[in-house]
Amino acid sequence: MTARLMDLRTLPSPVLAGHIFPGVRQQYYKFKSSCGFKLQNNLTTVGRRFCQCMNSNVRCSAEDVGLEKDSNVASSDISFYDARVLYCVSPAMGHNKESHPESNKRVPAIVDALERLELTPKYRSSAVFEAQNFQPASIDDIASVHARAYVAGLEKAMSRASDEGVIFIDGSGPTYATETTFQESLMAAGAGISLVDSVVAASRLRPDPPIGFALIRPPGHHAIPEGPMGFCVFGNIAVAARYAQRAHGLKRVLIIDFDVHHGNGTCDAFYDDPDIFFISTHQDGSYPGTGKIGQVGRGSGEGTTLNLPLPGGSVMMLMRWTHWLVCNSQRAHTTCSHQISNNLQRSYVEDAVCSSWKVDII
């Protein structure tokens, strides 16, 4: 299951770069020697790129792109404009392999947990809105991130999956497919696209647009541009980011990936892109073994990738770093909300911020 948070706003030019990276260095000095990380030069490179990006005052609101109120948003119900959280659910019930860790039990289990916690529209009234009747992503949407040969090959493989029931699509595994995988993967990516449309539409009507939350599978952050990997089929968050740029003119996008595993697919998709800033926190040495601190981007994208591999059991350290980042952002912008996505947006992105994570235990 991959979930995303998206928040798009029109903001004044941020001024926080000078504060963020010294603090990041301080947080990592504690375990630098034990882990052997050489952070100074890498964070300086990333920090320099961060400052360069922030010097641009490129901003985009719904008015800037001429979005109409009746745009193709996730739901025709006007009540979503008042919500604080918009969410989509795409459980991919047909994409399933019994006893496999990435099964169709995941999304229903999370929905049940949200219900028990009284975080659904049933309990939160207009504050939480479930967007339904969204459309699948188009082939062109997927091809903005993935090779067309891969997309066409996966679609063709559905006939074999129909005959055999379950097939593996990345050699011997672990990523599998059933006869519904292709269409359900398009629906998962389409949920994120619809939320981008919805948040942009809401941003035209109110100064504090909602966040978007996509509760979807198959997951996506391991899927590389050339194919599937690590249970992931299409890079859902990457597709949404590209769509935001193409359809709404939201030039600069920040993606925050927090998961025990490195989001290697998302990282690869934007490794040489100067307009998408990718941050990943993950356990050092975990699957797939990528996301080293020295991987900071390539070419014109050098400095727009920040990989933060953490030692096992360092959840509290990560929480302290997150708390520090929130506090610094709030000092720089007193109107900041308490969501970490909003605070990170104010430190770098004037157009869009997306967050991606995969639930590994339910």
The total number of residues shown for the chain amounts to 362
Reply yes or no on whether the pLDDT at 225 is more than 90.
yes
Count of C-beta atoms within a 10 Å radius of residue 284: 20
Annotated catalytic residue 222: yes
Query: Distance between CA atoms of 168 and 174, rounded to whole angstroms?
Result: 7
pLDDT given at position 343: 41
Write down the pLDDT at residue 34: 44
Question: In this predicted structure, what is the pLDDT of residue 326?
Answer: 55
Q: What pLDDT, on a 0 to 100 scale, did the predictor assign at position 335?
A: 36
Q: Are 235 and 193 in contact (CB under 8 A)?
A: no
Q: Is it the case that residue 359 has pLDDT exceeding 80?
A: no
- Mean of the pLDDT values across residues 155-175? 94
Q: Choose the most confident range, by mean pLDDT, from 66-70, 105-109, 168-172, 337-341.
A: 105-109
Give dist(CA 95, CA 25) in Å, integer. 42
The pTM is what?
A: 0.76
* 106-109 own/partner pairs: CB under 8 Å, 24+ apart: 106/1, 106/217, 106/359, 106/362, 107/1, 107/215, 107/216, 107/217, 109/362
pLDDT at 145 over 70: yes
Which residue spans within the chain are E strands per DSSP?
Answer: 2-7, 85-90, 128-130, 167-168, 176-177, 211-216, 253-258, 276-283, 305-310, 352-358
pLDDT (0 to 100) of residue 204 = 85
Question: Cα(262)–Cα(308) distance, rounded to whole angstroms?
Answer: 9
Residue 330 burial (10 A CB sphere; 0-12, 13-18, 19+): middle
360 or 65, which is more confident?
360
pLDDT of residue 314: 79
Least trusted range by pLDDT, from 11-25, 252-266, 342-356: 11-25
pLDDT of 71 > 50? The answer is: no
Mean pLDDT score, 330-346? 40
- Looking at residue 86, its pLDDT comes to 93
Mean predicted confidence (pLDDT) in 266-280: 96
pLDDT at 183: 99
Catalytic entry in 146, 222, 248, 262: 222
In this predicted structure, the answer to whether residue 187 has a pLDDT above a threshold of 60 is yes
Task: Please give the share of the chain, as a percent, with pLDDT higher than 90.
Answer: 56
> Which residue segments constitute the domains of the chain, with CATH numbers given?
2-260+315-358 (3.40.800)
